[in-house]
C-alpha cells in the first residue's frame, strides 16, 4: 500500500461518528456499520497502476446497493470528498414506515437470489418494500422485527414454529410453482394480498382474509342471518338481525322437522313484530346439506331439492344467499382468528354417525362440485369398519340399512366407539386439504389429546394439524354466514 493509500486508510479508521462502528478486517478491507446500513472500503493494488479504492453501501434488510463507486487513489482530498458522499448515504435514517420482509430457506442461498428478484420488482413498481434472506435457524436465533416472513417450499412445513418466533409477522409458504420459477411478480402479489396492501389493485373479493383483517372497508348493511341446526329427532331454527354488525333482534324455535315453509314463517313473524323488511339489505341462510346456487342438492332432511334462495326472494322480495351450515361455521372459525391460513371445522351432533366438515383453504371457502365439498352424509361406509365389535346380535350383513341402524343405536352415543370414526373422517380432511388447524364441535369427543393419539395411529405426529375443541358452534355459524353475505355484497358493489 502506497503512502497516499496508507494515509487515507488511517483517516477512515480514525473517524469517530456517533452510531457508527468501524471494523478493520485487514489492511485492504474496512467495514463500517450504521443502523440499517453497512459500508465497505476496499483497497486494490495492481502492478504499474494507481491504487484503486472501492466504496460501497448496502441496505441490510434488502441487500440493495445504495452507493457503489470505484476510483483511482491519486488525490487524497478527492478521496476524502468521495468518502464523505458515501458517508451521507451510510447515515441516512432507516425508513420505519417501509415494509420489511424476511425470506427463509434451509441455508439462505436460494432465498437470497429470490429476495433480489423481489427487490427488483418492488423497485420497478415504486413500492417501499425491503427484503432480507436468512437461513431458517439463523433467523429464529437472531429474531428481528418484520412485517412478513416468506418460507421457501422446503421449509414450509415449519410454518407453525416460525409464526411463534415472529408473532407480529404474517408467516406463509411461497408456493412451489412461484418459487421454482423465480416468479417475483407472483410472489409479490401474494405477499401484498396477505398484508392487505391494495396499493396496486383491489384485493380479490373472494379472499376471506380481508374479512378478518379489518371491517372498515366492509359495507354497512342490515343483514338477517337464519341458522338451521339439526339434532336427533328435531332441529333448531335460530335467527339474528344485524345492523352494521350490531345485533338488533333475535329469536329461535325448535321443530320436529324443518320444511321450507318454516323458513318463510321466520321472515313472516319478523314482519308481524314490526320489522320493516324493506330495510333488510340481504338474508343469509345456513342449512344442513350441500348447497348449489341456493338449492339444497343433497340432504338427509326435508330441505333436499328445495331452491331456498329463489323461494324466499320470490315471496318477500329480499336478496337471499344460502350456504351449508358447516361451511358457514368454518368461515366463522377462520375470520375470528389470524393464526391459521387454512382451517377445517368438523361439526357433529351427539347421537349421529356422520358429521359435517367445512374448510377454508388459503382464504377461500371450498365449495366443490354442486356444493358437495365437506358434506359427509354420503360416507356411511365407515360404519362397517367398526360394526363387528358392536354386533353382539345376529345381523344380516348384506343389509346396509340394518347394520347402519344397529350401529347408530349402539355406537353413536359412545365416545369410545365414535373416536376412531371421527378420526377416519378427519383423515379425509387432512388428506385433501391439509389444514393448519381443525376445529371440532362434538360433545361426545372433547379430549383432543386422545383424538391426536388416535390420528397418530395412521399419521406422523408432525403432519397432524392443531386440534381445537369448541362449544360455540352456533356463534361461528352466525359470524361466518355474516362474512359470506358481506363478501357477496362487496363483490356485487365493485
The CA-based dihedral angle spanning residues 259, 264, 270, 274, taken in that order and rounded to the nearest 10 degrees: -150
Dist. CA 152–CA 133, nearest whole Å: 11
Per-residue model confidence as pLDDT tens digits over 226-255 = 999 888 778 899 999 998 878 998 999 998
Beta carbons of 152 and 108 less than 8 angstroms apart: no
Report the DSSP beta bridge partners of residue 467: 438
Looking at the DSSP bridge assignments, the partners of residue 22 are 32
Using a 10 angstrom Cβ sphere, with 0-12 exposed, 13-18 middle and 19 or more buried, the burial of residue 144 is: middle
Residues in the chain: 494
Q: Is 301 helix (H, G, I), strand (E, B) or coil?
A: coil
At 280-298, the pLDDT tens digits run 999 999 999 889 888 988 7
pLDDT band at residue 194 using 50, 70 and 90 as cut-offs? confident
Q: How confident is the model at residue 265 (pLDDT cuts 50, 70, 90)?
A: very high
Q: Say how far apart CA 343 and CA 436 lie, in whole Å.
A: 6
What pLDDT band is residue 494 in, cutting at 50, 70 and 90?
A: very low
The pTM of this model reads 0.60
> For residues 69 and 86, is the Cβ–Cβ distance under 8 A?
yes
CA distance 186 to 339: 23
Cα 417 versus chain centre, distance: 34
Q: Is the pLDDT confidence value at 204 over 50? A: yes
Lowest mean pLDDT among 279-288, 454-463, 471-480, 484-493: 484-493
Distance CA 283, CA 313 (A): 9
pLDDT at res. 219? 65
Taking only the tens place, the pLDDT of each residue in 55-91 is 998 887 767 778 888 888 888 888 898 898 888 888 7
Hey, what CATH topology would domain 99-201 get?
Answer: Rossmann fold (3.40.50)
Listed by start position, the domains of the chain span 3-90, 99-201, 215-494
CA gyration radius, the chain: 31
Q: What would the CATH number be for the domain defined by 215-494? A: 3.30.420.40
| Number of helices (H), then strands (E), in the chain | 16, 21
Determine phi and psi for 343, rounding to 5 degrees: -135, 150
Burial class (CB in 10 A: 0-12, 13-18, 19+), 205: middle
Amino acid at each position: 500500500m502506497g503512502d497516499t493509500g496508507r494515509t487515507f486508510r488511517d483517516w477512515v479508521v480514525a473517524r469517530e461518528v456517533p452510531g457508527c462502528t468501524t471494523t478493520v478486517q485487514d489492511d485492504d478491507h474496512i467495514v463500517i456499520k450504521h443502523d440499517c446500513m453497512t459500508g465497505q472500503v476496499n483497497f486494490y493494488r495492481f502492478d504499474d497502476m494507481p491504487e484503486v479504492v472501492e466504496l460501497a453501501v448496502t441496505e441490510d434488510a434488502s441487500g440493495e446497493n445504495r452507493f457503489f463507486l470505484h476510483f483511482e487513489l491519486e488525490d487524497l482530498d478527492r478521496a476524502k470528498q468521495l468518502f464523505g458522499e458515501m458517508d451521507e448515504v451510510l447515515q441516512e435514517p432507516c425508513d420505519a414506515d417501509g415494509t420489511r420482509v424476511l425470506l427463509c430457506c434451509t441455508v439462505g442461498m436460494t432465498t437470497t437470489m429470490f429476495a433480489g428478484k423481489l427487490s427488483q420488482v418492488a423497485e420497478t413498481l415504486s413500492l417501499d418494500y425491503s427484503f432480507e434472506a436468512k437461513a431458517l435457524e439463523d433467523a429464529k436465533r437472531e429474531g428481528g422485527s418484520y412485517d412478513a416472513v416468506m418460507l421457501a417450499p422446503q421449509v414450509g412445513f415449519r410454518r407453525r414454529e416460525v409464526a411463534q418466533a415472529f408473532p407480529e409477522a404474517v408467516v406463509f409458504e411461497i408456493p412451489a410453482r412461484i418459487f421454482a420459477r423465480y416468479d417475483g411478480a407472483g410472489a409479490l402479489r401474494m405477499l401484498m394480498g396477505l398484508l392487505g396492501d391494495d396499493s396496486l389493485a383491489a384485493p380479490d373479493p373472494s379472499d376471506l382474509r380481508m374479512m378478518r383483517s379489518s371491517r372498515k372497508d366492509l359495507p354497512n348493511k342490515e343483514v338477517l342471518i337464519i341458522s338451521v341446526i339439526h339434532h336427533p329427532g328435531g332441529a333448531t331454527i335460530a335467527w339474528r338481525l344485524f345492523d352494521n354488525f350490531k345485533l338488533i333482534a333475535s329469536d329461535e324455535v325448535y321443530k320436529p322437522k324443518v320444511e321450507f315453509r318454516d323458513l318463510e314463517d321466520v321472515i313472516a313473524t319478523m314482519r308481524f313484530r314490526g320489522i320493516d323488511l324493506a330495510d333488510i339489505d340481504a338474508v343469509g341462510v345456513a342449512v344442513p346439506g350441500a348447497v348449489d346456487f341456493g338449492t339444497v342438492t343433497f340432504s338427509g332432511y326435508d330441505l333436499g331439492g328445495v331452491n331456498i334462495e329463489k323461494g324466499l326472494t320470490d315471496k318477500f322480495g329480499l336478496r337471499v344467499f344460502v350456504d351449508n351450515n358447516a361451511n358457514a361455521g368454518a368461515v366463522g372459525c377462520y375470520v375470528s382468528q389470524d393464526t391459521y391460513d387454512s382451517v377445517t371445522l368438523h361439526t357433529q351432533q351427539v347421537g349421529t354417525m356422520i358429521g359435517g366438515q367445512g374448510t377454508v383453504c388459503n382464504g377461500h371457502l371450498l365449495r366443490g362440485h354442486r356444493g358437495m365439498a365437506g358434506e359427509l352424509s354420503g360416507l356411511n361406509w365407515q360404519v362397517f369398519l367398526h360394526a363387528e365389535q358392536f354386533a353382539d346380535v345376529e345381523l344380516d350383513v348384506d343389509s346396509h340399512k340394518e347394520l347402519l341402524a344397529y350401529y347408530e343405536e349402539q355406537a353413536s352415543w359412545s365416545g369410545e366407539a365414535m373416536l376412531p370414526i371421527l378420526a377416519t373422517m378427519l383423515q379425509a380432511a387432512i388428506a385433501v386439504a391439509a389444514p393448519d388447524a381443525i376445529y371440532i364441535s362434538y360433545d361426545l369427543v372433547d379430549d383432543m389429546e386422545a383424538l391426536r393419539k388416535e390420528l397418530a395411529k395412521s399419521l406422523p405426529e408432525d403432519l397432524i394439524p392443531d386440534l381445537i375443541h369448541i362449544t360455540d358452534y352456533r356463534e361461528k355459524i352466525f359470524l361466518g354466514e355474516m362474512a359470506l353475505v358481506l363478501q357477496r355484497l362487496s363483490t356485487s358493489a365493485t
